[in-house]
A and B are shown apart, each in its own frame.
Chain A
Amino acid sequence: DAGVTQSPTHLIKTRGQQVTLRCSPKSGHDTVSWYQQALGQGPQFIFQYYEEEERQRGNFPDRFSGHQFPNYSSELNVNALLLGDSALYLCASSSWTENTEAFFGQGTRLTVV
C-alpha cells in the first residue's frame, strides 16, 4: 500500500501564474481533503471532495479550485498566484462512511516568486 501520494514534491512559480497539484488517496479511501500550511503554522482546511463533488470548503478565495476523478484521485488548482500562496500543500485521504483516521501525503512545497 503506497499510502497517500502527492506530486510534485516541490514547485516554483511566478506571481500571476496558475498551478495544479495532484493527489492519490490511500487504497480503500474515497474522500480527499486539501490543506495549506504556512511556515510555522498548523494546516488550514481548503476543501474536501467526495463522489467527485466539493463537499466542504474553508475560508479560501475562488482562485482555489479542485477536482476529483472517478478513481478518487484529486487535483488542486490555484489561479493568479500571489506571493502569499507560498506554502506546503497537504492532501489527506479518509473514508466518507467510517469515522476513522485521516492519512496525509508528504506535501507539495509551492514557492511563488
Chain B
Amino acid sequence: KQEVTQIPAALSVPEGENLVLNCSFTDSAIYNLQWFRQDPGKGLTSLLLIQSSQREQTSGRLNASLDKSSGRSTLYIAASQPGDSATYLCAVDNQGGKLIFGQGTELSVKP
C-alpha cells in the first residue's frame, strides 16, 4: 500500500530565503509524481509533474526532483516571496490516475 509522507508539516522562513520541501513514498512503482499548491479553503493548483522516467522538472523559481530508488522527491523554491505562502502537497500516481497525497507542508514566508 502506497504511503506518502511530507516533512516538515509546517515551515516559516524570511522573505528571500531558498527552501526545500520533502516528500517520501513507500512504493517506487509510480507513473508520476505531482506537486500542488493549495491556498486556504481553495482547490489545488498544479505546480510541477515529474514522469517516472525523469529526474527533475523546473518552472520559474521552482525545481522538483525525483529519486524513485530511494522513494523521495524534493521541491526547491528559490528566493521565496510572501506570495508563496500556502500549503504544498505532493501526490504520487502508481495506479493509473489514482493520486495518493501526503499531508502537506504549510509554508509561511514572512516579509
Contacts and interface: CB of A to CB of B under 8 A. Distances in A.
B42 A107 contact: yes
B98 interface: yes
Contacts of A106: 42-43
Interface stretch (A12-20, A68-76, A77-85, A87-95): A87-95
Contacts of A48: 97-98
A22 to B, nearest CB: 14
A104 B44 contact: yes
A41 B103 contact: yes
A107 B98 contact: no
Contacts of A60: none
Nearest to A32: B97
Interface residues of A, number: 30
A109 B41 contact: yes
A100 B31 CA distance: 10
Nearest to A92: B99
A43 B98 contact: no
A54 to B, nearest CB: 12
B89 interface: yes
B32 interface: yes
Contacts of B100: 45
Given A33-B98, A90-B44, A42 B49 contact: no
Interface of B: 4, 31-32, 34, 36, 41-46, 49, 51, 89, 91, 93, 95-104
